[in-house]
Amino acid sequence: NLTSLLPDTEVVELPVLDMVDFNAAAKGIARNSRRMEILGSLLKGDTRIILATAQAAAQKGISPKQFKALSLKLKVGTVIERDDLLAQLVKMGYERVDQVDMQGEFCVRGGIVDVFPVNSHAPYRMEFFDDEVDSIRFFDVENQTSISKTDKAEILPFDVFDDKHRKAMFTEFITKEAAVIVDDPLKVREEIIKLAKENPDIKGRLFSWEDFLGKINSYNVIYMAMMLHSLHSINLDHLIGVSVQGVASYQRQFDMFTNDMESWLGDKNQVIVTLGDMAKVSSVREILGRNRLASVEGDVDTALRPGVATVVKGSLLNGFELPGAKLVVITEKDIFGRQKKRLSRISKEDRIHHFREINVGDYVVHSQYGIGKYCGVKTEEIDGIKRDYLYIQYGGEDRLFVPTDQVSMLQKYIGREGEVPRLHKIGSSSWTKTKNKVRSSVKDIAKELINLYAKRKRDEGYAFSPDTVWQREFEDAFPYEETHDQLTAIAEIKADMERQQPMDRLLCGDVGFGKTEVAIRAAFKAVMDGKQVAVLVPTTVLAQQHYQTFAERFHNFGPTVEVINRFRSQKEQKAVVAKVEAGQVDILIGTHAILNAKKVKFKDLGLLIVDEEQRFGVSQKEKIKQMAIGIDVLTLSATPIPRTLHMSLAGARDMSVIETPPQERFPVQTYVVEENDNIIRNAINRELKRGGQIYFVYNRVESIYSMLDRLEKLVPDANIRVGHGQMPEAQLERVMVEFYEGQFDILLSTTIIESGLDVSNANTIIVYDADKFGLAQLYQMRGRVGRSRNIAYAYLLYKQDKVLSEVAEKRLQAIKEFAELGAGFKIAMRDLEIRGAGNLLGAQQHGHIASVGFEMYCRMLDDAVQELKTGKPVERQTDPLVEIKVQAYIDNEYVGNAMHKIEIYQRLAALRNNEALNRLMDEMVDRFGDPPQSVLNLFTVARIRNEARLSGVQRITEGSQYLEIYFAGEPKCPVENLLEVSGMYGNHVKFDNQAKAMLIDLSIVPRATIHDFVLAIMEILNGKAVAGAASK
């Protein structure tokens, strides 16, 4: 409401501070950093409207005095000892890392300090000359390069660790001229008292109601209440009564709306109508015009006129009438019965990122030698020449040192999480056999997909009509603003449905990304053409969930929705089936029971929606194929499909991908913590006190009932039920549905809750022995909570003082990062994508993906699809080899971090032109400072490789007698350029036509700068340099 009325004023919500009283190994930091940023802007006197709940307002926090003392202001020329700066950053709550990726982090590389303050949109990069700040730049976390220069940096404190620093109320940060508005003071008082009562352990961190009033007393305070009643401890200077009344909800009854408008305008009221978009502004003005009612289109600043309606684009929630002021406000919700919630725009960076970084200890795949273990970058000296090599450990005692210019032959081995691949032995035939086996399997799959695709394109189906007015009405009724990906998917599906050929489209997107709404719109389109829709789901719980979602969404729009599942009696199911056959049911939702063609007969089926197809058995999948003949099919999958695979399969499978997450109001507050009774008890009680439900994940069936006993002792008042995969299916489903319906408080279960269940009232999840789970599992489990307006909590517990295995230790470390990130997409995505690939291509492909790694598998599939489409095998070009004796490597003194090193080598190998090389060099100077000679030489070698590629050179070798330049076939450069080199050096240059080589006598080559000489020769061959350049 406020942003709509005051478009030029920033309105922000003050986050609630974390109030737990235990030490977590890691926890989410998003809310804390946001709060500090708001306090900093208030100190500066920025004009903002701060909205705060009773809890956020009454919390004790840092005082303005301490805040200022902990803040840092630096500018170019400031003299500060670097170590003092680093110590101050730690004191302010910042964490030292290898590379700055998020707020609250800093890192150091030589004379460069990077820091990402809470109050900045981008991190700072500060370069020191001795103890003086020489330059300050903003840089981009995505590519780590500088964006722009600035002359000063302000760094606000990030975290205050102890309670002795928490003494002040946030209002102490605002100027004395500010106004404090308390909405419904009685409720605020009640809330503050309730918080202290329910959580005695945090009572000391909250101001009491009396203290709260004392703190705000020095400001202009306005109390707003619905009714006049005694206000505890409040002394008022003035009492202003405002007579206000609500307006009717017209629910699209336009006659009633225009009658009321006529009477208001006739009484010379000033009337404002606020609508969500310009299309609605036009249509409401049209309705008023047809009834001869005066209206103007305006905005927030338009002067109101008595007897004329001002129609504006805006989004107030409810209308009202102020008879004393002769003012009437009507909103879209009043007229149409609903209003879209605007989502804050998501930047591209918030989309899912994939990462292919290679860390020491990771498995890698070498295209020639197979799977090995990467042990780091080693600098080796051979014949007095230092070079960097990637050290790979293979089976047995085998070791391979890969020159860094051949880094493109390596890919990270990506397999299912926790799976350890077998290392190949160098020289054995097993790798070649594995590759051949996978290649032939991939060819078969590509052939099958392409043939299936071609067959569907030949089949005759039903072409649905273009969208009706009703379709638009129905889509407008969706209460949220659609994401860009959702709109794209909807458009693709509708285009498919309007074609004569049957649709076969796969819609992928993570849980909660809005796939169901896309499917609902397709279903509505089908029903509008008089066709029936079948929605097939793998479990009864999902059937029930979909039934409620569909029924709610179609309410007021006509289509009849029914469900068949085992919670319905035989009699009820028979009645539904009869209605389906008679055409009295438009949308039927059910489990595999609806695949029984003898029992369930549709009158006119036009669309089949299959949810989570991979969870159906082989025989059920066959039945789905039978049912799908000649009709449109939309398959939904919550397992994301990787971009690479999506691209490879273009033209072999129609896919829509939703990868924009919905903007969450609060990230799930995640804690990684040693388990003990207190933590479990408090976490459960905290949720129960706000009327919520809890998931408790315990993954050992054999001792799940002992855990039940323990929980019953810890929280005797809670109603707890158990669910696990070994229970009879009907019993398990009953438990799940009862939890969904809110009949008990705690669901103690194994990982079966990973997928499917969507309980908006369950906002706490406790995962026992979290270090035993894969990150993808944890990610999906955490996704079960945080699906409503309440702050959700995830507690990832691990055993006290437990000696962890190396894998678990690594995983726990990753979980900690996962907690702090608040998203943790990267790690989880990798595992989920591989599942997605297997689900899409068939279960037997899992083994093949594991045997060669995911990247290599995708490349092979891509080659197979291209070969089938073009009829020609795909030729992959090999990079020119440059073997000259020159110190060309990245010195440890210059770049110390092994991961940064390999990333630079990978990028160097991938760059194909000199402009890109120049940009990379600028970036390195920016990130690491001025490079040593060995790095400059490395870039010269990369330039030689680029020039060699242009002229068709395959290999350049510094032999004992000659500089040998070998061509891959006929030279790509003009013959006169070859003759030019020959003319420059006469007898010192020979041509070996048989070997397709040019040989230059080394006696005329300056050995110390051989790399510059070779570059000059290559440039002459490409016509870029004049004769004589090489001899200088």
Residue 952 shares a structural domain with residue 891? yes
| CATH code, 504 | 3.40.50.300
Of the residues 786, 803, 822, which one is the last residue of a structural domain?
822
- In Å, how far are 185, 229, 231, 947 from 190, measured between CA atoms? 8, 15, 12, 76
For 204, phi and psi rounded to 5 degrees? -65, -15
**Cα 680 from Cα 670, distance rounded (Å):** 14
For 427, residues 6+ apart whose C-beta sits below 8 A from its C-beta are none
Decide: 557 and 474 in contact? Cβ < 8 Å: yes
Q: Are 128 and 82 in contact (CB under 8 A)?
A: yes
Does 438 reside within a domain?
no
* Distant-in-sequence, close-in-space partners of 458: CB < 8 Å, separation ≥ 6: 501
| Residue 1032, domain member (yes or no) | no
Distance (Å, whole) CA 701 – CA 688? 25
Q: Which residues of the chain have pLDDT under 70?
A: 19-29, 160-165, 228-232, 338-357, 416-419, 511, 639-652, 661-667, 752-757, 775-776, 789, 801-846, 1025-1032
Residues 6+ apart with CB under 8 A from 298: 310, 311, 312
Question: What is the rounded end-to-end Cα distance, in angstroms, of the chain?
Answer: 73
Show which of 173, 205, 224 is a domain's final residue.
Answer: 173
Spatial separation of the C-alpha atoms in residues 853 and 356, rounded to whole Å? 12
- Long-range CB contacts for residues 253-260, cutoff 8 Å, separation at least 24: 254/287, 257/287, 257/335, 258/287, 258/288, 258/291, 258/293
Range of the domain at 76: 2-173
**Per-residue model confidence (pLDDT) at position 534:** 96
Spatial separation of the C-alpha atoms in residues 948 and 953, rounded to whole Å: 5
191 contacts: CB under 8 Å, gap ≥ 6:
53, 54, 55
Same structural domain for residues 569 and 674? no
Domain shared by 731 and 789, yes or no? yes
The CATH number given to whatever domain includes residue 61 is 3.30.2060.10
Distance from C-alpha of 771 to C-alpha of 754, rounded to nearest angstrom: 16
Instruction: Match 């504006």 to its residue by tokens.
Output: 312
Q: How far apart are CA 62 and CA 169, in angstroms?
A: 8
Tokens of 70: 């902990």
Look at residue 378 and tell me if it is in a domain.
Answer: no
Label each residue of 898-942 as H, E or C. Answer: HHHHHHHHHHHHHCCCHHHHHHHHHHHHHHHCCCCHHHHHHHHHH
Both 621 and 680 in one domain: the answer is no
| Length in residues, the chain | 1032
CA distances from 977 to 79, 914, 1011, 1019, 1020 (A): 57, 21, 20, 10, 6
- In 14-131, at which residue ranges do the beta strands (DSSP E only) sit? 26-27, 48-51, 72-75, 95-96, 105-109, 112-115, 124-129
Do both 796 and 939 map to the same domain? no
Predicted pLDDT at 22 = 66
Tally of structural domains, the chain: 5
pLDDT of residue 55: 87
Q: What is the pLDDT of residue 957?
A: 93
- Any domain includes 1003: yes
DSSP lists the bridge partners of residue 587 as: 533, 561
The answer on 805 and 753 residing in a single domain is yes
Residues 291, 157 within the same domain: no
Of the candidates 793, 801, 828, 829, the one whose C-alpha atom is nearest the C-alpha of residue 667 is 793
657 with 719: CB under 8 angstroms?
no
Distance CA 105, CA 115 (A): 6
Residue 612 within any structural domain of the chain: yes
Shared domain for 631 and 678, answered yes or no, is no
Q: How far apart are CA 269 and CA 265, in angstroms?
A: 5
Burial (0-12, 13-18, 19+ Cβ within 10 Å), 86 = middle
One-letter amino acid for residue 1027 of the chain: A
Q: Which amino acid is at 102?
A: M
In a domain, 776, yes or no: yes
Per-residue pLDDT at 559: 92
CATH number of the domain within which 950 lies: 3.90.1150.50
Q: Which element (helix H / strand E) includes 92?
A: none
Q: How far is it, in rounded angstroms, from Cα 578 to Cα 568?
A: 15
Q: What is the DSSP string of 469-534?
A: HHHHHHHHT-SBPPPHHHHHHHHHHHHHHTSSSPPEEEEEE-TTSSHHHHHHHHHHHHHHTT-EEE
Q: Which residue from 186, 322, 179 is spatially nearest to 242, judged by alpha carbons? A: 322
pLDDT of residue 357: 64
Residue 303 sits in a domain whose CATH number is 3.40.50.11140
Whether residue 116 is found in the same domain as residue 10? yes
Same structural domain, 632 and 708: no
Q: Please give the backbone phi and psi of residue 205, each rounded to the nearest 5 degrees, phi first.
A: -100, 5
Q: Are residues 508 and 605 in the same domain?
A: yes
Q: What is the DSSP string of 277-334?
A: SHHHHHHHHHHHHHTT--EEEE-TTPPP-TT-EEEEE---S--EEEGGGTEEEEEHHH
Q: Could you give the C-alpha distances from 817 to 25, 33, 811, 820, 821, in angstroms and in order?
A: 10, 16, 10, 5, 6
Q: Supply 1008's token pair.
A: 């110390």
Q: Output the furthest CA–CA distance in the chain (Å, rounded).
A: 109
Residue 461 lies in a domain: no
In a shared domain, residues 616 and 699: no
At 828, the amino acid letter reads A
Computed from CA positions of residues 564, 570, 573, 578, in that sequence, does the dihedral angle turn out positive or negative? positive
Measuring CA to CA, which residue among 699, 670, 711, 668 is closest to residue 768?
A: 699
Q: Of 592, 621, 638, which residue sits at a domain end?
A: 638
pTM over 0.75: no
The answer to whether residue 663 is domain-embedded is no
d(CA 936, CA 700): 58
Helix axes 540-554, 515-528, angle to 10 degrees: 60
